[in-house]
Structure 1
Amino acid sequence: MELLSEEPHQDVLFFSLLYSIATAMFGGAVARQLRKHELRMGVRSVFILALLLVGESICFVALPGYSGLSLFSVACLLSYCTLPGTEFLYVQEKAVLITGCDSGFGHALAKHLDQLGFTVFAGVLYLDGPGAEDLRISGSTRLKVLQLDVTSFEQIARTYAKLKAELSSTGLWGVVNNAGVLAFVADAELLPVNMYKRCMEVNFFGVVELTKMFLPLIRQAKGRLVNITSVSGSMPMPGFAAYGASKAALAMYSNILRQELAIWDVRVSTIQPGGFKTGIFGTREQWNNLHREVMQQLSPAVKTEYGENYISSFKEKYPKWQTNLKENLQPVLNDISKALLAKNPKPLYTPGTSIFSLPLFQHYLPSCLSDFLTFQLLKSAPEDVPEGVKET
């Protein structure tokens, strides 16, 4: 009698586990869509989820065994497919200004938005450069290449006057502040002050200057402002003091603008990409030139403390940085497109494998553990330590 009574009990536990697995898989898929802002939670969504919850109990009780489980699994699939997704706006004749289109994200984005039907104003640093020429050849008549150095007030003002004349009736739908420089990757003490200034000038002050100039046109269209930040601006990364500081300033500026411009129906999003191959590290020759500039401005005392072998090791890291970068830029282009066209865009997009989890190290782990993990992620070799440290 005891054996007969145990068997139904075991079946109940077994199918309870299967139902739990199915529910967890469905819940995980919904949570992922919510995090990506690709699911709209409204009355319809709540009704579908509540109906599914009731249906689980009915299937478990009224149709015991695999028949009920199969019916519940099909209901999960149908419910997931019928949940309302993100609403996107029509491109129509929307116009977007993009900075830094000579190469990288800006270059690829100009082509991508042109194909989507946007009127694209692609700002380049070198009007006669290969990047600008490629855009002129491959783009449609809607893609217009402009000389735009974000550190030049005169060029920003000239571009504004041109776009205001062309878009006086509609305004400017979007500005994508993409132009940026990395300078050199090395310990904060080794980087000359002019490299800090250069990063701030392009990555932050250039964005501020251009944004302030074009906000009246964006406000007229009730449009979008999209700023490209970096994970190095969200968490401390050894070697990226100049670049990370400028991107951290940009991230804070973007978040404040998002709050202030909401009353004007202007949406602000930041894009925080992972490691993609954009050309920001420059060529090997440019990297070597930056290394020489660092060496020339170091004091003899600092050179002695760090040692020339340690300082030169940063020059040799160029191939490693390039090897670890992803060539497919499409995830970034897709997220920028969502920021421009989603009816309710996310404040932050993080394209790139696992890039979203990296800042969590800094925020939720003890500093000793997060610092250790960051060091392990970025170090090149165990012997890469300054001479002064070896001697102690």
Structure 2
Amino acid sequence: MDTAEYDGSVLYLGLGILFSGLAVHKIVKNKVNIENASLSALPALLLLEAFCYFFFPVKLGVSVFFVACVLYYITLPVRRMLPAEGKSVLVTGCDFGLGHALAKHLDKQGLRVFAGVLKKNGPGAEELKKVCSPNLSLIQLDVTNSEEIAAAYCEISEAVKDTGLWAIVHNAGVLLYVADGELLPMNVYKQCMEVNFIGVVQVTKMFMPLLRKAKGRLVTMSSMAGHIPIPGFAAYAASKAAVTMFCGVMRQDLMKWGVNVSSIHPSGFKTNIFGSQEACSRQAQNLLENIRPDVRDDYGEDYLNAVKDLQNEMFSSSSSDISPVLEDAYHAVLAQHPFATYTPGAFAYLIPTIFRYSPPWVYDTFSKLVFNNHRIMLPRSLRTSHSNYKTD
């Protein structure tokens, strides 16, 4: 290697190390998510560096590579937040779980929080009154109840007056039960759609004049299941897919009004989405009571009993640190330039990417390795047919 080649290698290496350090620092400092860091551009930069090294003179190649690195660095988003003073936000589903934690988090940031609860005198509501500032107001709000939605609108409209409502965070949601789509009762499908989708639409339509007045934010807590098929989640995933598409269309519809729309798609977190142990037992009983005798016979009692343990397994494998979801919701509400989509949690970006860009058989094979639903036994009739096949 002559002197010119050595000098060129040192320049490329030094520039690469310097750029990598600056980019990582900016990504960490601004809490940039993987999908928003445009990581797909990094392999292209590496290929460009190799191309410049082998085919361009040293000065020209280094210059081209330097300009590409600068352009990438500039495009990385910066965490610039708007002041919370004078801004109000409605958060639904604040009795327990994620909504409860989010109401506290936004209250600490200085926002005026209207916390929608199912029971204004319930334990979750009482705790919010104790630990939060006087800026937090409890709102009686069942998102499936049109009268309560209208009453909440009148109460909040009177409170914010001409300022308008800066943001809505649609958090209220139900999962109810995890089981094969054939086994889930129709009332589970209907309730998931009623709460997770219709409820979001009803609240949005009612409060939209206040949002438009403030040129504010519409934020919806969807799910990774709204992007990908997850076995056992037929009812929940269908409702989240519906609300995800609703948010996408509303983002386009509301651009002309200056309202930003974001959807958050978390992976597995330990929230109240599974409900209490008592609620899970009721849903299990509901499932068993609605299975036709021939279906029960095909699946077998041992399979049905194994299905009961799925929710406990999924809950135990979920993350107890919900801070990534809280931070993304806060960013969606107050960032100068909020993202259209957030994917907090392990694999919340990777798994939908595999689904989107891989053949179906690749994703189906991958899901068998990832999701617990495929680890239970085969239904009784399939085990019998396999056994007969082997005997023959």
2:332 alignment counterpart: 339
1:123 alignment counterpart: 116
1:330 alignment counterpart: 323
2:306 alignment counterpart: 313
1:226 aligns with 2:219: yes
Inter-partner Cα distance in structure 2 for 1:329 and 1:84 = 23
1:143 alignment counterpart: 136
How has the CA–CA distance of structure 1 residues 366 and 38 changed in structure 2, closer, same or farther, with 3 Å as cutoff?
closer
Shift, 1:353, TM fit:
2.0
Check the 8 A contact 1:120/1:143 in 2, yes or no.
Answer: yes
Q: Deviations over 1:213-255 (max 9, x none)?
A: 0000000011110001011110000000000000000000000
Alignment of 1:1-392 (within 5 A): 6=1, 8=3, 11-12=6-7, 15=10, 18-19=13-14, 21-22=16-17, 25=20, 29=24, 33=32, 85-379=78-372, 382=375, 384-392=377-385
Shift, 1:308, TM fit:
1.2
- Greater Rg over alpha carbons, structure: 1
Shift, 1:372, TM fit:
1.0
TM-score (norm 2): 0.84
What SS does the corresponding residue of 1:355 show, helix, strand or coil?
A: coil
Q: Which amino acid letter does the alignment assign opposite residue 213 of structure 2? A: Q
1:48 alignment counterpart: none
Inter-partner Cα distance in structure 1 for 2:155 and 2:263 = 26
**Long gaps (5+) in structure 2:** 39-48, 60-65, 386-392
Identity %: 41
Shift, 1:19, TM fit:
3.5
Inter-partner Cα distance in structure 2 for 1:35 and 1:373 = 21
What SS does the corresponding residue of 1:196 show, helix, strand or coil?
A: helix
Deviates more, 1:19-28 or 1:382-391: 19-28
How has the CA–CA distance of structure 1 residues 36 and 115 changed in structure 2, closer, same or farther, with 3 Å as cutoff?
farther
Inter-partner Cα distance in structure 2 for 1:310 and 1:317 = 11
What SS does the corresponding residue of 2:273 show, helix, strand or coil?
A: coil
Check the 8 A contact 1:119/1:143 in 2, yes or no.
Answer: yes
Inter-partner Cα distance in structure 1 for 2:37 and 2:109 = 20
Shift, 1:29, TM fit:
3.5
What SS does the corresponding residue of 1:175 show, helix, strand or coil?
A: strand
Check the 8 A contact 1:37/1:345 in 2, yes or no.
Answer: no
Q: Deviations over 1:340-363 (max 9, x none)?
A: 111111100111122111111211
Shift, 1:25, TM fit:
2.2
Inter-partner Cα distance in structure 1 for 2:2 and 2:113 = 68
Q: Pairwise CA RMSD of aligned residues?
A: 3.1
Shift, 1:324, TM fit:
1.1
Inter-partner Cα distance in structure 2 for 1:144 and 1:17 = 57
How has the CA–CA distance of structure 1 residues 310 and 31 changed in structure 2, closer, same or farther, with 3 Å as cutoff?
farther
What SS does the corresponding residue of 2:125 show, helix, strand or coil?
A: helix
How has the CA–CA distance of structure 1 residues 387 and 80 changed in structure 2, closer, same or farther, with 3 Å as cutoff?
same
Check the 8 A contact 1:30/1:80 in 2, yes or no.
Answer: no
How has the CA–CA distance of structure 1 residues 312 and 247 changed in structure 2, closer, same or farther, with 3 Å as cutoff?
same
What SS does the corresponding residue of 1:97 show, helix, strand or coil?
A: strand
Check the 8 A contact 1:102/1:129 in 2, yes or no.
Answer: yes
Inter-partner Cα distance in structure 2 for 1:122 and 1:273 = 21
Check the 8 A contact 2:223/2:240 in 1, yes or no.
Answer: yes
What SS does the corresponding residue of 1:226 show, helix, strand or coil?
A: strand
Shift, 1:86, TM fit:
3.5
Deviates more, 1:341-350 or 1:313-322: 313-322
Check the 8 A contact 2:178/2:311 in 1, yes or no.
Answer: no
1:65 alignment counterpart: none
Shift, 1:85, TM fit:
2.1
How has the CA–CA distance of structure 1 residues 391 and 303 changed in structure 2, closer, same or farther, with 3 Å as cutoff?
same
Shift, 1:108, TM fit:
0.6
Check the 8 A contact 1:275/1:352 in 2, yes or no.
Answer: yes
